[in-house]
Amino acid sequence: MKILITGTAGFIGAHLAEALIKRGDEVVGLDIINDYYDINLKYARLKKSGINREDIKDNKLINSTLHKNYKFIKADLQNKEILNTLFENEKFDKVCNLAAQAGVRYSLTNPDAYIQSNIIGFINILEACRHYKVKHLAYASSSSVYGLNEKMPLSTNQNVDHPISLYAASKKSNELMAHTYSHLFNLPTTGLRFFTVYGPWGRPDMALFLFTKAILNNEPIDVFNHGNMVRDFTYIDDIVEGIVRVIDHPPQGNPNWSGKKPEPSSSIAPYKIYNIGNNNPVKLMDFIAAIEQKLGKKAKKNMMPIQQGDVPATFANVDDLVKDLGYKPNTPVTKGINNFIEWYLDYYKN
């Protein structure tokens, strides 16, 4: 297949591109490479797949030096002209949209970035998929859409109309926009609600990265909600395996769906929503303890109140993922933490 992956300088996108290249798909990666966090890390992720920083030019498709089936373009999803030209020339079979402005806390101070990237960028992707007859659009949603929901485990059958951050609202908007295009234009779309993804090459604004860096530098870590947090940490390899299976299985539409008793995660249209989580929530203090054990150092802890926009607990119901795709994430959190720390120590050894 020929697949476009947006966000390939990002954490999940870089891993997904590697997996699809390895299995023989023809892959085109796209990323704006913004400075939300360290761009050197983004360029290092690209370099692993043979995309060299010195070769990258705005809006110019370049070839990987390592893989004949991989190309990359530095472009902005808000640029409709470039996006449409790319779709017209490359004739993608499928698209996986992972490009987005991430982060709950950043959305409190930089709301415009979320509207531009996550709403305008996404409508441009939908329009391109519609006009150029893409066979399946998979896209990143987020567990943050569950907002004020407290019934655990969090299920795609639940109502998600009470987000508590603009980031979450933008992801919920993506799901609504995707359904509209599935319904109006018969475009198969699948939304993936990721649950706290972690692992090697992860984002520097995520807890595991922040904690590891601080502990190694003998600096205190901020522990929110006084440590009374629970997260369904999901290892990157599990996330990628789930995305690949989803890409390969476009939704057909649910023949049993009823508008009199609407089921939120499917439709009569070719539309589906999945949770991708470990289905095994971990207490934040246990997570920190596992980092301390691997590093052989104790953390200095600043116990803090919960941050605006944060939820105290996430726990994914992945029954649909198991039923439809025969898959359930299962990497133990201690193994995932150990793999991340080994990568971190190697990457920053100099």
Active-site residue list = 167
Would you give the DSSP letter of residue 130? Answer: H
CA atoms of 268 and 262, how far apart (whole Å): 10
Residue whose entry in the numeric block shows the structure tokens 């475009």: 187
The CA–CA distances, whole Å, from 142 to 15, 102, 157, 192, 263 equal 18, 10, 15, 7, 19
The CB density around residue 58, as the number of other CB atoms within 10 Å, is 12
- Return the sign of the alpha-carbon dihedral for residues 255, 257, 263, 265: positive
Structure tokens at 343: 């990568």
H helix runs in the chain, sequence order: 11-22, 39-48, 80-90, 106-109, 111-114, 121-131, 166-185, 207-216, 236-247, 284-295, 319-325, 333-347
Three-state DSSP at 22 gives helix
Residue whose entry in the numeric block shows the structure tokens 């299985």: 249
Contacts of 215 (CB under 8 A, 6+ apart): 221, 291, 292, 295, 297, 298, 299
Instruction: Please name every residue paired with 2 in a beta bridge, in sequence order, or none if there are none.
Output: 26
Contact 190, 155 (CB under 8 A): no
